[in-house]
Amino acid sequence: MSTIVNIKTIPQPHGFTLNERTFTLRFHGDTFAQDIPEYIPVRIFAQVDDKWAGLFPVVHTTPGERLVRNEPLTAVSSASHGFPRCAHFWWQAKFPFLPLPQGFQPSSAHEWQRLVKNIERDLLADPHLSNTDPECYVLMRDLFWMAFVAAFPPFPYGTNWPRWNTYISMEGDFISRWASKDANVFCHDDSPDAHGAVREWVWEQFSTTVEEMLSIPVTH
């Protein structure tokens, strides 16, 4: 069974997100089994239209409930096979640059530049990632652009930023909004204070994305 619901949008400095919704899952009927298992896996999907690809649904259980190994499940597309993977196993294999080192300094351009190289390395490690695991690719690509903007706040204006591998497409809600002069309030301010404000804002976006999407702390 599936259904479609309308979820209220919440304006953000560089776009919008969606309000959290709470759902109740009930089961009607019964079935016979000689040996009743303690748990039965149930596949739950949350999917947003492709035109809003920058929005990532995350399924969480309420306190007191359990999923596999007490971990929340990441949402997967209907084209995926098998059950959604437990986040505990998923992020370790797909996001080796996380968690960030304990001493990571969000205000340091050098720290962000190092992170850009690490994410770029992992994105390029599998040239077919965008096809074999599009959810992972989109999330890692967004994290790459967050780090890139924090490392080089003038981007994409001016020339004081390095080229990146074109395999990493300049797509996604974050970078699309950032590149828009109408949405980017920092595009005409190249001062150190403006750069610091950008890094502070990106750090908040980066941390929230990691913690909500992967359910892990952003640093060790």
Instruction: Check whether 136 has a pLDDT greater than 90.
Output: no
Measure Cα distances from 166 to 25, 47, 57, 139, 179 in Å.
43, 28, 27, 17, 17
Q: What is the pTM of this model?
A: 0.61
Strand stretches in the chain, DSSP E: 9-12, 15-18, 58-59, 73-74
Interior angle at CA 123, CA 115 and CA 13, nearest 5: 60
The pLDDT confidence band at residue 105, using thresholds 50, 70 and 90, is very high
At 216, which amino acid appears? I
Of 23-27, 60-64, 140-144, the poorest mean pLDDT is in 60-64
- Residues forming a β-bridge with 219: 100
- Per-residue pLDDT at 131: 86
- Per-residue pLDDT at 130: 86
- Per-residue pLDDT at 181: 62
Output the average pLDDT for the chain.
78
Instruction: Check whether 70 has a pLDDT greater than 50.
Output: no
Q: pLDDT digits over 149-183, tens only? A: 999 998 988 778 898 998 899 998 889 888 876 55
The more confident residue out of 67 and 108 is: 108
At 135, which amino acid appears? E
The pLDDT confidence band at residue 60, using thresholds 50, 70 and 90, is low
- Per-residue pLDDT at 89: 46
Residue 41 host element (H or E): none
The more confident residue out of 129 and 115 is: 115
The more confident residue out of 36 and 74 is: 36
The pLDDT confidence band at residue 97, using thresholds 50, 70 and 90, is very high
